[in-house]
Amino acid sequence: MAENNNNNAPRPAMPGRPGGRGPGGPGMGMPKEKPKNGKKTLLRLLSYLGKSKALLIGMIAMVLLMTVTQLIGPTLQKEAIDSMTLVDGQLHVDFETLKSSLISLAIVYAVGVVFNFFQGWFSATLSQQTVRKMRNDLFTKMSKLPVKYFDTHTHGELMSRLTNDVDNVSNTLSQSLSTLISSALTIVGSLSLMLWYSPLMTLISLIAIPLGLWLVNLISKKTRRFFKRQQETLGDLNGHIEEMVTGQKTVLAFSRSGIVVDEFDEINEKLRNYSVSAQIWGGIVGPVMNMIGNISFALVAISGGFLAANGIISVGTIQAFVQYSKQFTRPVSEVANQYAVIISALSGAERVFEVMDAVPEEDDGKNNYFNVSEVKGDVLFENVNFGYNEEKLVLKDFSIDVKAGQKIALVGPTGAGKTTVVNLITRFYDVNSGRISLDGVDLEEIPKDGLRSSIGIVLQDTVLFTGTIRDNIRFGRLDATDEEIVAAAKMAYADEFISRLPDGYDTELSEQGSNLSQGQRQLLSIARAILADPKILILDEATSSIDTRTEMHIQKAMIALMKGRTSFIIAHRLSTIRDADTILVIDGGRIAEQGSHNSLLKLNGHYKKLYDMQFSRQV
């Protein structure tokens, strides 16, 4: 569309949807019993890490060096202990060996601290770099999703994926990634040195490990399910909060605070239950692995004492082996203790990837020579049938032939299909059957960006963006000069109220332009469409929030704006469409009547009844 076709516009404020949760409300996102594919999600996360190869290699190098310093320590301690021996009841100390061992030990530990610092720096930078790319990819993908996707998912639930779920991934990458790599290296190094010192004691120390792995696998089945439900329910809760905040006035006006609070409490209770279950099952893993580690340590101590008593190994070897045994089991325990965090991150990552994998809005137009400047504005609907779901059609056998420059008004009861006509012209949705063409070219053959660049829309629910008034008007055309912006504002009769503001066109708008009246917001939206200078103009109740005096001025501006342009006007105020070339009365998805204002009054049908009802109310 003319007012949305750019990548450098001010950041959009979150549109509110007071009054209803829609198809994507609580309960919709509840998980299936089938567990998620953690392996696939993990591999996909690793592919993101691979995009920052230098940081990843730097972090791995620091972790490797830090692990080496940890593995050298017990060997140096062994040499220090073995430098003190008992011979015939007398203590003999090799001071040179003891001195060199202690000095080497101090140096190794000091160097390990330096490596640990740089490892933390690399890890933090890598995690933030990775998450930044994920968040960019997710936001970019969301900007390319079709309108239907947003119609079937709550805003809060989508925001939860962009914030909470990505933050979960960020926290895990910064806290757990280096730990996992260090643990893997430590396990391999410790096991190798244990085998070097005593294969028998190594075998004994590993007896309890299979038991631990079996228990962890058993617990993980429960943990994964609860963490997935926790993340999904958190999305439902965010959606409910978002609706409560944006629809606060409606809630208060209908005295429904109690109901809203009860609904929040119900979702919050589900979240509490899932969170408690997830934390309990996730927290069991650590103590289980600690128990396994203690059993292994006891077996090592008993076997080592027996071998030392028989002169097979030295006391220093026992000490070193015990240290390596601890280093072997400690990483397993650390990973187990972080298991809940890792599972939560994988749950969040999978929810993020679900959005990334959603089918984007395809732009497979075949007309590569489409030029916005050459658009005339002939629009033809031929036997169009359409429904938002296949079981219920909204438009039925709908046919209209609109010539360039004509002004077409769409009237009818709520739900008749007026806005659906707009959705089809802009290709927010595609027809189920039939054909729509622009200047004789099927809409499905025209690239969507090109099509929408030729269309300007002013919606009933005004959407403004965080930024200045000038930025919001310029959203219609980014290369517009300040003079053109002011001219558009004057044509929309917005310049008068803008000039009275302390900062004029540089006035900063709060979220959704809430520091302006509804009518003022509508005027800015109209100015934005005027600046875009579209070939086709769509006005969806564009003057519904404007007082009668202002409406009279805007009608004059609209007559000038619509001159030479194909215009579609959705209106409930029939007084605003008297000069339309053709008025379509839509009822039940079909065209019940069509003609000029005067000709429809003479028919004494649907239009006459609508007109008389409004006229009698005005009287």
Segment 551-567 mean pLDDT = 73
Q: Select from 599, 527, 593, 519 the least CA-distant residue to 557.
A: 527
**Picking from 305-309, 399-403, 591-595, which range would have the lowest pLDDT averaged per residue?**
305-309
**Picking from 362-376, 383-397, 495-509, which range would have the lowest pLDDT averaged per residue?**
362-376
Segment 186-192 mean pLDDT = 82
Whole-prediction pTM value?
0.64
Reported as a pLDDT band with limits 50, 70 and 90, residue 384 is very high
Residue 75 pLDDT > 60: yes
Reported as a pLDDT band with limits 50, 70 and 90, residue 34 is very low
The residues facing 90 across adjacent strands are: 87
Residue 164 pLDDT > 90: no
Average pLDDT, rounded, for the chain: 78
Distance CA 346, CA 282 (A): 14
Domain ranges in the chain are: 41-356, 377-454+536-618
Distance CA 24, CA 148 (A): 11
Q: Select from 131, 172, 136 the least CA-distant residue to 49.
A: 131
Q: Which residues contact 382 (CB under 8 A, 6 or more apart)?
A: 399, 434, 435, 436, 437
At residue 435, the pLDDT reads: 93
Reported as a pLDDT band with limits 50, 70 and 90, residue 563 is confident
Q: How far is CA 416 from CA 384, 411, 570, 590, in A?
A: 15, 9, 12, 8
3-state helix, strand, coil in the chain (%, to 5): 65, 10, 25
- Beta-carbon neighbour count of residue 479 at 10 Å? 7
At residue 506, the pLDDT reads: 92
Q: How far is CA 164 from CA 38, 98, 205, 345, 354, in A?
A: 19, 54, 41, 10, 15
At residue 189, the pLDDT reads: 84
Strand spans (E) along 453-581 = 455-458, 467-468, 508-509, 536-540, 566-570
Distance CA 202, CA 329 (A): 12
At residue 383, the pLDDT reads: 93
Residue 483 pLDDT > 90: yes
More confident: 388 or 2? 388
Segment 314-319 mean pLDDT = 72
The answer to whether 520 and 497 have CB atoms below 8 angstroms apart is yes
Q: Which residues contact 576 (CB under 8 A, 6 or more apart)?
A: 543, 551, 555, 569
Among the ranges 91-100, 103-112, 324-333, 608-617, which has the highest mean pLDDT value? Answer: 103-112
Residue 167 pLDDT > 60: yes
More confident: 608 or 288? 608
Segment 463-483 mean pLDDT = 88
Query: Alpha carbon 580 to chain centroid distance?
Result: 43
- Token pair of 459, please? 């919606």
Residue 580 pLDDT > 70: yes
Reported as a pLDDT band with limits 50, 70 and 90, residue 434 is very high
**Picking from 12-21, 98-107, 498-507, which range would have the lowest pLDDT averaged per residue?**
12-21
Distance CA 619, CA 617 (A): 5
Which amino acid would we find at residue 135?
Answer: R
Residue 602 pLDDT > 50: yes
575-579 — which CB contacts under 8 Å span 24+ positions? Answer: 575/614, 576/543, 576/551, 577/409, 577/411, 579/407
pLDDT for 119-150, tens place per residue? 888 888 888 888 888 888 888 888 888 888 88
Looking up tokens 């809940």 gives: 340
How large is the C-alpha radius of gyration of the chain? Answer: 35
Segment 496-504 mean pLDDT = 90
Reported as a pLDDT band with limits 50, 70 and 90, residue 24 is very low
- Beta-carbon neighbour count of residue 391 at 10 Å? 6
Residue 428 pLDDT > 70: yes
Distance CA 521, CA 3 (A): 15
Topology adopted by domain 377-454+536-618 = Rossmann fold (3.40.50)
Reported as a pLDDT band with limits 50, 70 and 90, residue 615 is low
At residue 7, the pLDDT reads: 38
**Collapsing DSSP states into helix, strand and coil, what is residue 592?**
strand
At residue 270, the pLDDT reads: 87
Query: How crowded is the C-beta side of 560, counted as CA atoms within 13 Å?
Result: 10
Which spans in 310-380 are helix H? Answer: 315-337, 339-356
Among the ranges 124-133, 251-260, 359-368, which has the highest mean pLDDT value? Answer: 124-133
Topology adopted by domain 41-356 = ABC transporter transmembrane region fold (1.20.1560)
Reported as a pLDDT band with limits 50, 70 and 90, residue 46 is confident
Residue 310 pLDDT > 50: yes
The residues facing 442 across adjacent strands are: 437
Q: Look at the alpha carbons of 291, 296, 301, 306 in this order and tell me if their dihedral is positive or negative.
A: positive
Residue 542 pLDDT > 90: no
At residue 98, the pLDDT reads: 79
Which amino acid would we find at residue 42?
Answer: L
Residue 368 pLDDT > 70: no
**Picking from 3-7, 187-191, 327-331, 575-579, which range would have the lowest pLDDT averaged per residue?**
3-7
Q: Select from 35, 33, 71 the least CA-distant residue to 197.
A: 71
Residue 488 pLDDT > 60: yes
Residue 85 pLDDT > 50: yes
At residue 516, the pLDDT reads: 83
Q: How far is CA 344 from CA 40, 47, 158, 173, 575, in A?
A: 15, 19, 17, 12, 58
